[in-house]
Amino acid sequence: MAGLPRHGARIASGASYDPANFWVAARRRRGESIDAASRQTFARLVARVLRSPALVLYEAVEEGMPTHLVEVIAVVMQQPASFVMNMIGVSPSTFRRKEEANQLLPDAAGHRAMGFLRIAATLRRLIDDSGDQVAAATFDLDAWLARWLLEPLAALGGRTPAEMLRNPEGLRAVEQVLERMCGGLAA
């Protein structure tokens, strides 16, 4: 029985990949602010989610998520790192222990962080596919996402999209709300 491809395997398109490199971000350039570097890292991750097959996303989560991504998400959401830790289900003590030991975060945190990235990628795809080139070029994904994820929505039973990231069904509900919003239906 054939198993899942591992490091350096070929996916259907023939391209090779290493899921451990999915989370790798470029180093911050001299003089570049942490905010600017975090926003660039986030944009790169959203682009990777958009162009990666599901198998790559699956294996990236299975490999584990590095702790520095908590800060990246915190910058984008304009929230403290503790908010992000709560959103992805990591206690501050676990986070601190993993960060000090240079270890990856638990699987559940990776799944929830990937859910956050999938929401951002879905929104980016919907904006890009809208046909409005000006909106696609000028839309501030980070700012809109930061506000929207914290807004209680009737379509989510009064919960915020951030709260819904706790399981796959919640993520699917959030993605459906985004699809309806971009399709012109009430969310």
| Residue owning tokens 């299975």 | 62
- Which pLDDT score is estimated for 184? 55
Of 86, 4, 77, the closest CA to residue 39 belongs to 77
- Which pLDDT score is estimated for 183? 63
- Which pLDDT score is estimated for 99? 93
> Rg of the chain's alpha carbons, rounded to an integer?
17
- Which pLDDT score is estimated for 69? 92
Cα–Cα distance measured from residue 145 to residue 117, given in angstroms and rounded to the nearest whole number: 11
Percentages helix, strand, coil for the chain (3-state, rounded to 5) are: 60, 5, 35
Full pLDDT tens readout for the chain, 187 residues: 444 444 444 444 444 456 767 888 766 677 778 888 898 999 999 999 999 988 989 999 998 899 999 999 999 999 999 999 999 999 999 999 999 999 999 888 989 999 999 999 988 888 888 778 887 788 888 888 999 999 999 999 999 999 998 888 999 999 899 888 876 544 4
Q: Angle at which helices 68-77 and 34-51 pack, to 10 degrees?
A: 100
State the pTM of this model.
Answer: 0.81
Cα–Cα distance measured from residue 78 to residue 148, given in angstroms and rounded to the nearest whole number: 12
- Which pLDDT score is estimated for 26? 65
- Which pLDDT score is estimated for 164? 93
- Which pLDDT score is estimated for 32? 76
| Residue owning tokens 């899942």 | 4
Structure-block tokens of residue 39: 């926003």
CA 6 to chain CA centroid, nearest Å: 22
Query: What are the sequence ranges of the domains in the chain?
Result: 28-182
Amino acid letter for position 152: P
Is residue 115 exposed (0-12), middle (13-18) or buried (19+ Cβ within 10 Å)?
Answer: buried
DSSP state for residue 164 in the 8-state scheme? G
Amino acid letter for position 143: A
